[in-house]
Amino acid sequence: MDNAYLSTTRNLYKEAALAPQPGLCCTTTPVWRLPGLAVPKRMLEMNYGCGSTVHPRDLAGNPSILYVGVGGGMELLQFAYFSRRPGAVIGVDVVDEMLAACRENLAEAELLNPWFRSSFAVLRKADALDLPVADESVDVAAQNCLFNIFQDRELERALAEMSRVLKPHGRLVLSDPVCESPLPGRLRNDARLRALCLSGAMPLQDYIGRLTAIGFGTIEVRARRPYRVLSPRHYALDRLVSIESVEICAIKDPVPADGPCVFTGKAAIYFGDEDFFDDGKGHFMTRNQPLAVCDKTARALAALGRDDIYVSESTWFYDGGGCC
């Protein structure tokens, strides 16, 4: 399949902009309810995402934000809630009709929210593969259910562009579908299924590997939840395939010499006789107090073979405070 699949995607989302299609590729995940934030009905209907990329702990200090694939503008509005200044949020999309619909929705949001000004969110027509943003100029970059549509070459380019525009230690927040094992080629090559955020799903470890290969040194898996089921009854499959949506933050930290720090919600608890345990490698554990650990540290602690350290399985929910 050549880049014609991108034309299929643009046409599908052109239609979705002209006539909102609730449930096109979104989940039933509750929308953020924030004090004083009212979301226009049409904006909500055009929430073509599979999770959320808006996390308050990423948004302290009035950050500059880039959002790629604007949809109806809901997450632009949510980001602007935390950065209330002109030009704080840049929204990029390649579909004219989606940009126009987003602009209309933001104008309505301005009427519903006394604190909001449309100037807080600047819309630009551009491609995710060639962002109209200066190097190292944004604190947070985000995309919701877009990058899974890209094939390998375009995905690598899109991730590299996000890395380019992020400041050092900046955060790339993503939500995309993932699956347990690679999907058959006949599904992956179906342009419409790819545009619908179904057949571009890849195994989570592969997804994380794409991020670390670009140079993101810290990865946080923040949520993982059911998204879709592909059945042999409806698709060219010989088995049932479960697809999940995942929310990930990739931080532009240098990759440590011993490999990236990937947090998947594991914790370690020291329950020995001493008040604390120090492994001599920067991991200090107070007795009976859980410490969030990256997978690399979890493996190292388990390898010690101690009978007074417990290491949990991945919960796929990481909310900060980790070992690295």
What global pTM score does this model have? 0.95
User: Mind listing the pLDDT tens digit for each residue in 162-213?
Assistant: 999 999 999 999 999 999 989 999 999 999 999 999 999 999 999 999 999 9
pLDDT higher than 90, residue 69: yes
Measured between alpha carbons, how far is 272 from 286 in angstroms, rounded to an integer? 10
pLDDT higher than 60, residue 218: yes
> How much is the pLDDT for 28?
53
User: Mind listing the pLDDT tens digit for each residue in 76-111?
Assistant: 999 999 999 999 999 999 999 999 999 999 999 999
Rounded to the nearest integer, the mean pLDDT of the chain is 94
Dihedral sign (CA 129, 130, 134, 140)? negative
Angle among Cα 240, 246, 252 to the nearest 5 degrees reads 145
Percent of the chain with pLDDT over 70: 97
Least confident of 26-30, 156-160, 182-186, 299-303: 26-30
A 10 A CB-CB count for 54 gives 25
Contact 6, 154 (CB under 8 A): yes
Measured between alpha carbons, how far is 108 from 106 in angstroms, rounded to an integer? 5
Measured between alpha carbons, how far is 171 from 163 in angstroms, rounded to an integer? 9
Measured between alpha carbons, how far is 103 from 93 in angstroms, rounded to an integer? 12
Encoded amino acid at 37, one letter? L
> How much is the pLDDT for 323?
73
> How much is the pLDDT for 23?
66
Least confident of 61-65, 207-211, 227-231, 269-273: 227-231
Angle among Cα 64, 65, 68 to the nearest 5 degrees reads 155
pLDDT higher than 50, residue 1: no
Cα→Cα distances 166→56, 106, 135, 214, Å = 18, 25, 7, 13
